A = this chain, B = another copy of it.
Amino acid sequence: MSEFDTTLPSIRQVQTLISDKQEVELKLVTDDLLVGRILWQDHDCICLVDQYEQKTLIWRRGLVYLKLKS
């Protein structure tokens, strides 16, 4: 992942989740499960905001999977 390629399906999928203000679950390498809406993404990070408007900057290295919150 030496470039942030905005044409990649996975990058575009996250971009759609941002536009839709979709609530998601993010599983991290530490086994933490964070819940919230994604505010933005860049080459290194994803920024999540939870229901209390608390923001979390997550490094991509730490991401394992993303699910839509059902």
Contacts and interface: CB of A to CB of B under 8 A. Distances in A.
Give the interface SS of chain A, mostly helix, strand, loop or mixed: mixed
Given A29-B29, A32-B27, A10 B42 contact: yes
A44 B54 CA distance: 27
Given A5-B43, A70-B54, A64 B10 contact: no
Nearest to A67: B56
Contact of A1 (B13, B14, B44, B58): B44
Interface string A1-26: 11001001111011000000000000
Interface of A: 1-2, 5, 8-11, 13-14, 27-32, 34, 40, 42-45, 47, 54-68, 70
